[in-house]
Amino acid sequence: MNWQSIVEQIEATGATFKLVNVRPLVGGDINSAYCLQGTDKSYFIKLNRADTIAMFAAEAAGLTELAATRTVRIPTPVVHGKSAEHAFLVLEYIEFSTSSKTSDRQFGQQLALLHQQCQPYYGWHRSNTIGSTPQPNARNNDWIEFWRIQRLQHQLQLAAAKGYGGHLQTMGAQLCEKLASFFDGYQPQPSLLHGDLWGGNAAMDKRGNPVMFDPACYYGDKEADLAMTELFGGFSQDFYAAYRDTCPLDQGYTTRKTLYNLYHILNHLNLFGGGYLRQAENMTDSLLSEIS
């Protein structure tokens, strides 16, 4: 890797940076991650193929929009671009620490405040990615239609193209037809969402301040963000109690969280393979049983 090319693009932002060491970091399943250590400053770097530059551009835009709310700490995007063989995203480097009851409660409160940042539409000003899967965000005034077309049907179509047909597609089509049943008496506000809020995309800094990163932003139902925090675990009861104290939840959330998490399980099916097929089918069947 020619790190000097990235150093030059960091310096083009007006920063003075002398590279001393490059340290690989444990990252996610999509990108490679590194810490570029300088004499007095370090940067967090994400790398992928050169043709993924649009993914990093959208991520930088999401980080900027989240940071503008001044609710949760967000790593500052420095620059994104291409080197000879890679696309890259350079972010502020933040050292993480362990959470506490205080920091967990603070995170719950801050996420609730983030969700109070609203727009008069669902979607976003650009499409982005969820993992490496394209995530369409065309603006829509109808949340049920948005979730049907741009979330569930989108993932089901991707799954069909990968050979996942049969029961999943039949039941998925039925679910999409009956989505309105889950929103009887409930009209969500278009809240600013992180969009991919599992435990691996949040942490605490050295001062105990919550930090969020790796977003897949759009404006939608706040329950969609909260639901994903429950999908793989990693968030404490102090976090949820503080969230509810600041932003009480509708009683229908208990059912709708499965609807919202189905999107992420379908995405995992499309990204990582058939190990998620049975889970996606079971979730779809469970949702249909709620309205049969």
pLDDT score of 189: 97
pLDDT score of 26: 84
Of 205 and 85, the one with more pLDDT: 205
d(CA 52, CA 164): 26
pTM of the model: 0.96
Per-residue pLDDT at 21 exceeds 90: yes
pLDDT digits (tens, 9 = 90+) for 168-187: 999 999 999 999 999 999 99
d(CA 151, CA 24): 34
Give percent of the chain above pLDDT 70. Answer: 99
**Which range among 24-28, 68-72, 282-286 shows the weakest confidence by mean pLDDT?**
24-28
Domains and CATH numbers, the chain: 3-94 (3.30.200.20), 97-291 (3.90.1200.10)
pLDDT digits (tens, 9 = 90+) for 188-245: 999 999 999 999 999 999 999 999 999 999 999 999 999 999 999 999 999 999 999 9
Report the catalytic residues: 196
